[in-house]
Amino acid sequence: MSEGRTHAAFESPYDLRDALKRLAADGVSSKDIEIRSSAPLDHDVFPDGAGVHSRMPWMALLGAFGGGTAFFLMVKLTSEAYPLPTGHMAIVALPTAGVITFEGIAIGAIICTVATVLYECGLPALFRSRQGPLDHHLADDHVLLSVRCDEGASEAWTAGALETARD
Amino acid sequence: MSNAVARSHEEQLIRPLTAFRPKLFVGSLVTGLLVGLLFYSWGYQIVNDIGVAGINRPVFWGFYITNFVFWIGISHAGTLISAILRVTQAEWRRPVTRCAEAITTFALMIGGLFPLIHLGRPLIFWYMVPIPTGRGIWPNFRSPLMWDIMAITTYLLGSLLYLFLPLIPDMAILRDRAMKVSPRSVRTLFFRVMALGWRGTPQQWHSLEAGIRAMAVIIIPVAVSVHTIVSWDFAMAVQPMWHSTIFGPYFVVGAIYSGVAVLMVAMYLLRRGLGIGEYLSDKVFNNLGLLFLAFALMWGYFTFAEHLTVWYGHEHAEMTVFNQRISGEYAWVFWTMIVTNVVIPLSVLPFPKGRSPLGTAIVGLGVLVGMWIERFLIVVGTLRYPRLDFNVGTYSPTWVEVGILVGSVGLFVFLYFAFVQTTPIVSIWEVREGHHLEVKARMQHLAAAKEEPHV
Amino acid sequence: MTRWGLVIDTDRCTGCGACAVACHAENNIQTVGEEEAAKGRAMHWMRIERYYEGTFPDVRVRFQPVLCQQCRQAPCEPVCPVYATYRTPEGLNAMVYARCIGTRYCANNCPYTVRFFNWFSPEFPEPLQRQLNPDVSVRPAGVMEKCTFCVQRIQDAQDIAQDEDREVRDGEIRTACSQSCPAQAITFGDLDDPASRVSQMAEEQRATRLLEDLSTEPSVIYMRGGR
C-alpha cells in the first residue's frame, strides 16, 4: 500500500465543492488536501472555510511606519551632519521633511506588502514546486484537487471529475 | 458565455505570445530605430555638451522638462484604472488593468530619463543620491528636485511590483499550458521562471489578493503625490504664472486626463491589432469615455480658474506671460490646446456614438497633443518673460531636443510591443474571476426567482 | 558679524559698461561669441539694463546695473538639489562650482535673472589665456555661475588683515566693478559696520532695493531719485 497523491480535475468549482464535502465525510484531513485553481475561488466553495489567513494590512502598516521613520531620519541626520543654510528655511525644514517622509511611508508600505505576499505564498518556489500530471487543466480554467492517500483508498470523491491521475 | 467560447477568446490573447506576428515584429524594428535616435541624440549631447540643445538664458528649461512632466503625467493612466477602479470594485475594469498598468510603468521609466537628459553635467547625477561619500556632504532635501527623485522612485517601484504581482498567476496559466504542449522550449522556461512556482492554492490566492488590494490603496496617494511634486517644481518658484497654489491638483487632473488619452489610443490599437474586441469591448470604451469626459470637464475647470485669477489680478509680470498665451506669440499654440482639450472632447464624448473605440482614440490623440502643449506653455511661456523686463528671451528647439522627444515616443511603443509579445495584455485570471462572479450572481438570481411565488 | 553689501548710485551711472567689462576680466567669464549671444547665452555677471521712458524727443534712458543681489532670503538656494548654492556666514550667496550638476533650477527661481550657465566649455584662444585671473577658477560646461562680490578679493583682503593682526578696513576691499566705475557709482563694504560708507548710504532717503515686494532681502542697494 504505497502512499502517493490522487489528482482529479473538475470542470467547475461546484463540482469541487461536492468532492470536498465527500472528502470531509470520509474524514480526510485538510492537511492532505491541496486545491489549485487558475482564478480565485469563492469561499463558499469550501465546506468549512478555506482556513486562509493573511497578515496583510498589519504588515503594510508596519512597513509604512518603518519607511516613514527611516526617511525622516535620513533627512534630519543628513541635514544636521553638514548644515548649510539655504534661503529662509531652517536646517531641518519640517514642511520639506514632511514630503520626503510621506514618500518614505509609501515606499515602506510597498516593500513590506510585496515581501509579505511573496513570503505568505511561499514564492519564489521554482525548485520546490512539483509539477502534477493534470496541471494543464488549470490552463483551461478547471480546478484541481489533489489528495494524499494510500493506493487502495476510496476514490468516491472523484466522481464527476473530468480526469484523474495518480502519482 | 460558455467555457468553450471563453477559451477560444483566450486563445486570441495568447497568440501574440506564441506565434510570430509580422506586424508586431516590424513595429518593434521601426520603434527600435527610434530608440536608436533617442540614444544617438542623447549621446551627441553628452559628448558635445548641453549647449547643443536650444535652451538658453532666460529659458533655462525647455523641451526636456516639458517631456518630463508629459511622460510622468501619462503614467497616471494605470493608477486610475487598476487602483481606483479596483478599490471602487468597478467590475468592467478587469480587461483593462494590465494594459493600463503597463502604460504607467513604461511612461514612468521614460519620464525618469529626462531629469538625467536635462542635466548640465549628467555624469555626476549621483550627487543627488543620498549615499555617504568622502566629502561628507549630502543632497538638499529641501529641493523639489529631491522630492521628485523620492516620489518617482517610489512610484516606479510600486508600479513595477503592482504590474508584476497580478502577472504571476497569468504566467502560471501560460506555464501550465506550455508544459503540456512544448515542455522544453525557451518560451516555456520563461513562463516557468516568471510564474515563480505559483500553484494557485486558496492560501496563495488569499495572500495575493490581499496584497493587490493593499497595493491599490497605497498606490493612489503615491500617484497623487508624484504629479503634485512634479508640479511643485514650478509652483515652488517665485515666477509669474508658476507660483500658483492650484498647480498640485491641476497637474494631477491633467495627468490623469493625459493618461486616459493614451489608454484610449492604446486600447483602440490593441483591439484592432490583436483582435481582442471581446475583452476591450464597446462597453469598456463607453465607460472609459465617460471618465474621459469627466476629466475633460475637470481640466477645463482648472484651466479656466487659473487664467481667470491671473487676468483678474492683473499683475504686470503675470499679465506679460498671460498675454503671450492669449493673444501674443504663443496664442496659436494656446488656442490649439483649448480646441483639442476642451472643444473637441466636449463635442464628441457626451454622445454615445462619440464614445466608440475610434471616437475616443481620436479625441485621445488630440488630448495628447494638447497636454504636451500645456506643459510647454507653462515651462517656456513663463521663462521667456522674467520679472526684469530687460531680460526677455526666446526659445527654439534644436534637432537634438526634437530627436530625443521623437525617440522617447519610439521607446515607449517599443517597450509596449515587447510587453505585448511576452505577456498577455489582458489579465486572464481576473477576467476568469469576473466570469465566475457573473455565473454565481446569475445562479443566485435564478434561485431567488424560483423561490418567489408566481404572481 | 560681517555682512557684505554693495551700493549702486544710479543717479551717477552713465551706462558706460566699464563695470561689466571689468567683471569679465576679473572673473574669467567666457565670451560666448556672436552665434551663442544671438541665442541668448551671453554671460555678463554685471550687466547694464536700459529702460527707455517717454517718447521722442523727450526720451530718457534709465541705466540700471544689475548683478547678483546676494539675497538674504535667496529663492535660488533651497531649490538646488546638491547644495551647490547656499548662504555663507558673511552674507554671500556662495556658488560651489564643483558641486553643480547643472539642473538650472536656481536660475529659474532667480527673480533678477542674474544667474548664468556655461552651455559650452570656455575657449580662450592663444594668447587670451594669459589674461585669466589666477585667483579665480575657469568653469566647465554644465556649471552655473554668477556674481560672487569678487569673493577672491574679499578673501585676499581678509588674509592680509589677519597677517597684520587687524580688522579689514572700510574701503580696503574693492570689487572689480566698484574699482573700475569712472563715476564712482558703486561702493562695496560691510553693511553691519555702522561706520562704513555702504551702511550710511543704505540709510539715506534715496536708498531702495530691486523687487523688494518679493522679500528676497537683497544686499545690493540702489540710490535713485535725485534727477
Contact at CB, C75 and A89, closer than 8 angstroms = no
Give yes or no for C99 touching A (CB within 8 A): no
Specify if B305 maps to a domain.
yes
Contact at CB, A117 and B193, closer than 8 angstroms = no
- ipTM of this model? 0.93
Q: Is the pLDDT higher at A156 or at C150?
A: C150
The mean predicted confidence, pLDDT, of chain A is: 89
pLDDT in tens, C167-193: 999 999 999 999 999 999 999 999 999
Cβ proximity of B406 and B413 under 8 Å: no
Contact at CB, C83 and B60, closer than 8 angstroms = no
Share of chain C above pLDDT 70, in %: 99
Torsion sign over Cα C191, C196, C197, C201: positive
Contact at CB, C100 and B393, closer than 8 angstroms = no
Query: Which of C101, C110, C123, C209 to substitute to test the interface with B, most B CBs within 10 Å?
Result: C101
C4-223 carries CATH number 3.40.50.720? no
DSSP structural state of residue C64? E
Q: How many CA atoms lie within 13 Å of C50's alpha carbon, on the beta-carbon side?
A: 8
Specify if B4 maps to a domain.
no
Q: Give the three-state DSSP class for C78.
A: coil
Cis preceding-peptide flag for B122 (omega within 30 of 0): no
Contact at CB, B165 and A117, closer than 8 angstroms = yes
DSSP structural state of residue A163? E
Residue indicated by cell numbers 489528482: A7
Specify if B5 maps to a domain.
no
The model carries a pTM of 0.95
Q: How far apart are CA C84 and CA C105, in angstroms?
A: 11
Q: B38 CA to chain C: closest CA distance, Å? A: 20
The length of chain C is 227
What does each C-alpha distance from B191 to A40, A115, A126, B171, B197 come to in angstroms? 20, 21, 11, 5, 10
Specify if B454 maps to a domain.
no
Q: What is the mean pLDDT of residues C205-226?
A: 93
Q: C45 CA to chain B: closest CA distance, Å? A: 12
Per-residue pLDDT band for A23 (boundaries 50, 70, 90) equals confident
State the alpha helices, DSSP H only, in chain C.
18-27, 34-38, 105-108, 151-163, 176-180, 197-202
Looking only at the bridges linking them, the beta strands covering A33-36 and C116-117 are unpaired
What does each C-alpha distance from B242 to A109, B317, C203, C226 come to in angstroms? 33, 11, 35, 36
- Subunits in contact with chain B (3 or more CB pairs closer than 8 Å): A, C
Per-residue pLDDT band for A49 (boundaries 50, 70, 90) equals low
A 10 A CB-CB count for B106 gives: 24
The grid cell for B48 is: 558635445
A 10 A CB-CB count for C45 gives: 24
Cβ proximity of B280 and B263 under 8 Å: no
The grid cell for B78 is: 494605470
Domain assignments of chain C as residue spans, ordered by start: 4-223
- Cα dihedral B141, B146, B151, B154, rounded to 10, equals -90
Q: Give every CB contact of residue A56 below 8 A, 6+ residues apart in sequence.
A: A113, A116, A117, A120, B207, B210, B211, B213, B214
Specify if B449 maps to a domain.
no
The mean predicted confidence, pLDDT, of chain C is: 95
**pLDDT of res. B1:** 61
A 10 A CB-CB count for C192 gives: 15
Which chain B residues are Cβ-neighbours of C119 within 8 angstroms? 49-51, 55-56
Kindly report the CATH number assigned to the domain that includes residue B429.
Answer: 1.20.1630.10
Contact at CB, C83 and A87, closer than 8 angstroms = no
Cβ proximity of C85 and C104 under 8 Å: no
pLDDT in tens, B280-339: 999 999 999 999 999 999 999 999 999 999 999 999 999 999 999 999 999 999 999 999
Give yes or no for C92 touching A (CB within 8 A): no
Q: How far apart are CA B346 and CA B301, in angstroms?
A: 13
Specify if B8 maps to a domain.
no
Q: How far apart are CA B69 and CA B374, in angstroms?
A: 10
Cis preceding-peptide flag for C78 (omega within 30 of 0): no
Q: How many domains does chain B have?
A: 1
Which chain C residues are Cβ-neighbours of B139 within 8 angstroms? 81-83
The length of chain A is 167
Torsion sign over Cα C174, C176, C181, C186: negative
Q: C64 CA to chain A: closest CA distance, Å? A: 25
- The full DSSP string for B332-384 is HHHHHHHIIIIIHHHHHTTSGGGGSHHHHHHHHHHHHHHHHHHHHIIIIIHHH
Per-residue pLDDT band for A48 (boundaries 50, 70, 90) equals low
**pLDDT of res. A81:** 92
Domain limits for position B182: 14-131+138-440
| 3-class SS letters over B234-249 | HHCCCCCCCCCCCHHH
The grid cell for A125 is: 518556489
Q: Give every CB contact of residue C88 below 8 A, 6+ residues apart in sequence.
A: C94
| Rounded mean pLDDT for each run of 10 residues along chain B, 455 residues in total | 80 85 89 97 97 96 98 90 89 92 96 96 94 89 96 96 95 92 88 92 93 94 96 96 96 96 96 91 94 97 97 96 96 97 97 95 97 97 95 96 97 95 93 90 89 67
Q: What is the mean pLDDT of residues A60-72?
A: 97
